[in-house]
């Protein structure tokens, strides 16, 4: 990749600032967990797997900053670090998955001295990042098999290298198809209100030399009906046990359009995005973000002052609209409940 989404370097966390793309490629440095929490909340880093990695690195930074004479005091403060990071964004389960993994590792090493526990947490955060990159590549290869040579693929939001440790989930499938020699083209929905498609997906695909056409969200049906889209591939923020999938707002509309036009609709996500504790998508918490994301674009107001606004950041696509869920452990179709359970059990 020609950019790095997030990395641990010299005991700092470095992130590309996604609020400033595509006009500026700026890397921010964080030395404390509060800064990382703010970066997640403010979407300097975003995308389910990427915020999982950021949270893990936030826990490791937090552990470094704790001043404690006793294990009891250290673990109490570590709990607070985890709680602050967990309160940043509610929908993507990868965030909670990563924090829980860090807590477990700390707990499993409680008998060691504090210096060693801090070092173990740092190593764990770095391995979560490295694993995510490997997972995206495996998942990508699994999904590429579903993409026909010459296909035009529609994607929504950004489920790319910027949303992961690198390579991407939905864009990982696209990259793997290209790397397998398939001639593919991508249509990117602009993804109002935050414009992840316009600002991030187009930027990252153009940088990688993958042909991309940017469309506004309300054009997807037009191109599907004309027969110009062969399949849809999107990422996910949380997948319930029955296959219902939370992803960026607007994904549900794309899925309904795809079904109406008999176009396969694929969800690409790592196992860490599955939340089998939830029976269906009705139980997935949906983040509501500030009104200004809808009323303004880059500081310019588009709407009358004082207008009532709703801004849910995600929606849930019922499993009946999903053709297949692509993971690093394999592709699930049909009976998602049984298929996902079997994958997790592997
Ligand atoms: O609000 P965001 O930008 O964090 O939302 C991101 C998405 O909805 C992505 O599609 C999803 O996290 C999958 S990322 C591989």
Q: For residues 38 and 58, give the distance between their C-alpha atoms in angstroms, rounded to a whole number.
A: 10
Round the average pLDDT of the chain to a whole number and report it: 98
40 within a domain of the structure (yes/no): yes
Are 179 and 131 part of one and the same domain? no
Q: What is the pTM of this model?
A: 0.97
| Spatial CB neighbours of 197, under 8 Å, sequence gap ≥ 6 | 155, 156, 157, 158, 188, 189, 190, 191, 214
Assess whether 237 carries a catalytic annotation.
Answer: yes
Asked if residue 324 and residue 176 are part of one domain, the reply reads yes
Q: Does any domain span residue 277?
A: yes
Q: What's the CATH number where 148 sits?
A: 3.40.50.10470
| Coil, strand or helix at 276 | coil
Q: Between 114-144 and 71-86, two packed helices, what is the crossing angle to 10 degrees? A: 30
Provide the token pair at 96.
């909670």
In tens, the pLDDT along 93-112 reads 999 999 999 999 999 999 99
* Cα 29 from chain centroid (whole Å): 21
Give percent above pLDDT 70 in the chain: 100
Q: Domain range spanning residue 172?
A: 140-345
Amino acid 1: pLDDT: 80
Distance CA(252)–CA(240), nearest Å, equals 15
What is the pLDDT averaged over residues 49-76?
98
Residues 16-57 pLDDT 10s: 999 999 999 999 999 999 999 999 999 999 999 999 999 999
Taking the C-alpha atoms of residue 210 and residue 186, their distance in angstroms, rounded to an integer, is 8
Point out the ligand 1 atom lying closest to the alpha carbon of residue 156: 10
Clarify whether residues 55 and 202 are in a common domain: no
Mean pLDDT for 72-85 is: 98
123 and 152 within one domain? no
346 pLDDT higher than 90 = no
Residue count of the chain: 346
Query: pLDDT tens-digit profile of 122-133?
Result: 999 999 999 999
Summarised one tens digit per residue, pLDDT across range 170-208 is 999 999 999 999 999 999 999 999 999 999 999 999 999
Q: State which of 79, 110, 136 marks the end of a domain.
A: 136
Contacts of 96 (CB under 8 A, 6+ apart): 86
Residue 145 CA to ligand 1 centre (angstroms): 23
Structure tokens at 16: 């590309």
- Domains in the chain, number: 2
Atom of ligand 1 nearest to the CA of 234: 10
Among 136, 168, 183, which residue terminates a domain? 136
271 and 323 housed in the same domain? yes
Q: Write the pLDDT tens digit of every residue in 140-158.
A: 999 999 999 999 999 999 9
Nearest in space to 293 (alpha carbons), one of 15, 13, 46: 46
Q: Which value does ipTM take for this structure?
A: 0.99
* Confidence category of residue 298, pLDDT binned at 50, 70, 90: confident
Q: Which residues line ligand 1 (CB under 6 A)?
A: 46-49, 92, 157, 159, 163-164, 169, 196, 235-237, 247-248, 313
Pair 153, 17 in one domain: no
Question: Are residue 160 and residue 248 in the same domain, yes or no?
Answer: yes
Same domain, 119 and 179: no
List pLDDT tens digits, range 258-293: 999 999 999 999 999 999 999 999 999 999 999 999
User: How many Cβ atoms are within 10 Å of 22's Cβ, its own excluded?
Assistant: 15
Q: Give yes or no for residue 327 having a pLDDT over 90.
A: yes
Do 147 and 41 lie in a common domain? Answer: no
The Cα–Cα gap between 116 and 102 comes to 14
In a domain, 1, yes or no: no
Q: What's the CATH number where 15 sits? A: 1.20.120.420
Q: Tell me which of 136, 151, 170 is where a domain ends.
A: 136
Distance CA(251)–CA(241), nearest Å, equals 19
With the most atoms of ligand 1 within 8 angstroms of its CB, the residue from 42, 47, 192 to mutate is: 47
**Is 46 annotated as a binding-site member?**
yes
Q: Are residues 227 and 183 in the same domain?
A: yes
Query: Can you list the positions of beta strands (E) in the chain?
Result: 6-9, 12-16, 27-30, 152-155, 185-189, 212-215, 231-234, 238-240, 245-248, 265-268, 274-275, 296-297, 300-301, 314-317, 324-327, 330-332
Number of helices and strands in the chain (H, E):
11, 16
| C-alpha 246 to ligand 1 mean position (Å) | 9
Closest by alpha carbon to 312, among 192, 232, 189? 192
The DSSP-derived string for 51-76 is HHHHHHHHHHHHHHH---SSHHHHHH
Report the SS3 class of residue 321: helix
What spacing in Å lies between the alpha carbon of 113 and ligand 1's midpoint?
Answer: 38
Q: For residues 169 and 279, state if they share a domain.
A: yes
**Nearest CA to 269 among 217, 344, 197, 334?**
344
Radius of gyration in angstroms for the set of CA atoms belonging to the chain, rounded to a whole number: 20
- 57, 188: one domain: no
């Amino acid at each position: 990749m020609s950019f790095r989404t997030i990395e641990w370097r010299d005991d700092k966390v470095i992130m590309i600032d996604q609020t400033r793309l595509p006009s500026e490629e700026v890397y921010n440095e964080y030395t404390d967990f509060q800064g990382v929490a703010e970066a997640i909340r403010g979407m300097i880093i975003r995308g389910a797997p990427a915020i999982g990695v950021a949270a893990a690195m936030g826990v490791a930074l937090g552990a470094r900053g704790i001043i404690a004479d006793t294990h009891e005091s250290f673990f109490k403060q570590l709990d607070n670090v985890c709680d602050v990071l967990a309160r940043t964004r509610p929908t993507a389960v990868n965030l909670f998955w990563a924090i829980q993994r860090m807590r477990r590792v700390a707990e499993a090493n409680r008998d060691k001295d504090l210096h060693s526990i801090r070092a173990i947490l740092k190593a764990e955060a770095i391995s979560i990042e490295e694993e995510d990159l490997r997972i995206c590549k495996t998942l990508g290869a699994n999904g590429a098999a579903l993409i026909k040579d010459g296909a035009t693929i529609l994607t929504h939001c950004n489920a790319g290298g910027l949303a992961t440790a690198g390579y991407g989930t939905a864009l990982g499938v696209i990259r793997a198809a290209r790397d397998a020699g398939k001639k593919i083209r991508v249509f990117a929905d602009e993804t109002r209100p935050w414009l992840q498609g316009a600002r991030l997906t187009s930027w990252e695909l153009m940088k990688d030399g993958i042909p991309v056409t940017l469309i506004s969200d309300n054009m997807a049906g037009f191109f599907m009906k004309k027969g110009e889209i062969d399949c849809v591939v999107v990422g996910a923020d949380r997948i319930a046990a029955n296959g219902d999938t939370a992803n960026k707002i607007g994904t549900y509309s794309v899925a309904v359009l795809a079904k109406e036009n008999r176009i396969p609709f694929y969800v690409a996500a790592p196992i860490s995005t599955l939340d089998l504790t939830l029976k269906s998508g009705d139980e997935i918490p949906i983040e509501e973000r500030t009104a200004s994301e809808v009323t303004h674009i880059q500081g310019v107001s588009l709407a009358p002052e004082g207008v009532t606004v709703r801004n849910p950041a995600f929606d849930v696509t019922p499993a009946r609209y999903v053709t297949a869920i692509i993971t690093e452990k394999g592709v699930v179709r049909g009976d998602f409940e049984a298929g996902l359970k079997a994958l997790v059990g592997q």
